[in-house]
Amino acid sequence: MTDHWWATRTDRRPSVLEIPWPRVVRLDERRSGPRRAAPRAQAIVKPPSPLERAQTAFLRRAVGYLAADLRVRQYITLGADAAAVGAARDAAREHVPDPHFLRIDTDSVPSLAGRGQAGEEEITVLRAGGLPAGELIGRLRVRGLVDFTAPVAVFVLDAQLRLTGPLQPHKLAATFHAVLCPGSHLAITRPPHGCPDTRSREHTAELFAPFRLIEPGLADMAWWPYPDEEVTGRGTGVLAGVARRS
């Protein structure tokens, strides 16, 4: 018996195997069931530093004093973030009805004023990075954001030397003094400049002129005007004071 086999043709090229390209397979693709959408990335909120917390506490104490004892209802802040201004607004509300807070955003280019973001809806925000002090006050007047015929408290919070250019503390006092009415106040926080303590105090006191410092004068930011439950025995090294427009 003879076996019959199909002969292989020698004039035909062997077919080429189609080898797929390698593919990276995610581990969750091997799991059973439908794929779940990747969770959205959440914004990382940086916790405030000890210096920022101390500055917020100073702002809240000073606003509480001005609202309780002097019934000041208008406040302008430079160098304070939204959370700090919100805390100060809450302190003012304990003593005066409907206090008005205007937060100057010194990190942004100049633009129209608007309401605050979530959590600060009742705070007006003006982006004024790079504006000279005179032009800044001009915008406040034209837009009716501040009533300069009534007392205003201006806070220039520069504990970390972030205010630059025309909005530095030594360029603001005289300009605001010219437009604020008697009974208005100017508050400044300022770290030392590497000079002896006495000269540092003299230099910081000069920033308030022609305003007149009120008691207790210049003090460590953590202690002005007096210790409370938030003040520890250790200071910040940043001087703070509040001065009055006579």
- The structural domain count of the chain equals 1
pLDDT value, residue 128 = 75
pTM over cut 0.85: no
Q: Report if residue 203 sits inside a domain.
A: yes
Is residue 87 within 8 A of residue 60, CB to CB? The reply is yes
Q: Report if residue 19 sits inside a domain.
A: no
CATH number for the domain spanning 202: value is: 3.40.50.150
Q: Parallel, antiparallel, or unpaired: how do β-strands 152-157 and 100-105 relate? A: unpaired
Is residue 48 within 8 A of residue 56, CB to CB? The reply is yes
Instruction: Dig out the tokens for 189 from the structure.
Output: 């926080």
From first to last of the 246 residues of the chain, give the pLDDT tens digit. Answer: 555 444 444 444 433 334 344 444 444 444 455 555 555 555 566 788 889 999 999 999 999 999 999 999 999 999 899 999 999 999 999 999 999 999 998 775 544 455 544 344 579 998 876 788 888 899 898 889 999 999 999 999 988 888 877 788 878 899 999 999 999 999 999 987 655 566 778 888 999 999 999 999 999 999 898 765 556 567 888 999 999 999
Q: Report if residue 30 sits inside a domain.
A: no
Give dist(CA 174, CA 161) in Å, integer: 20
pLDDT value, residue 63 = 97
pLDDT value, residue 22 = 47
pLDDT value, residue 150 = 97
Q: Report if residue 80 sits inside a domain.
A: yes
Q: Report if residue 91 sits inside a domain.
A: yes
Q: Report if residue 89 sits inside a domain.
A: yes
Q: Report if residue 166 sits inside a domain.
A: yes
Q: Report if residue 35 sits inside a domain.
A: no
pLDDT value, residue 82 = 92
Domain that holds residue 145: 50-244
Q: Parallel, antiparallel, or unpaired: how do β-strands 239-244 and 185-190 relate? A: antiparallel
pLDDT value, residue 53 = 92
Three-state helix/strand/coil letters over the chain: CCCCCCCCCCCCCCCCCCCCCCCCCCHHHCCCCCCCCCCCCCCCCCCCCHHHHHHHHHHHHHHHHHHHHHCCCEEEEECCCHHHHHHHHHHHHCCCCCCEEEEEECCCCCCCCEECCCCCCCEEEEECCCCCHHHHHHHHHHCCCCCCCCCEEEEEECCCCCCCHHHCHHHCHHHHHHHCCCCCEEEEEECCCCCCHHHHHHHHHHCCCCCEECCCCCEECCCCCCCCCCCCCCCCCCEEEEEECC
pLDDT value, residue 27 = 43
Is residue 210 within 8 A of residue 170, CB to CB? The reply is no
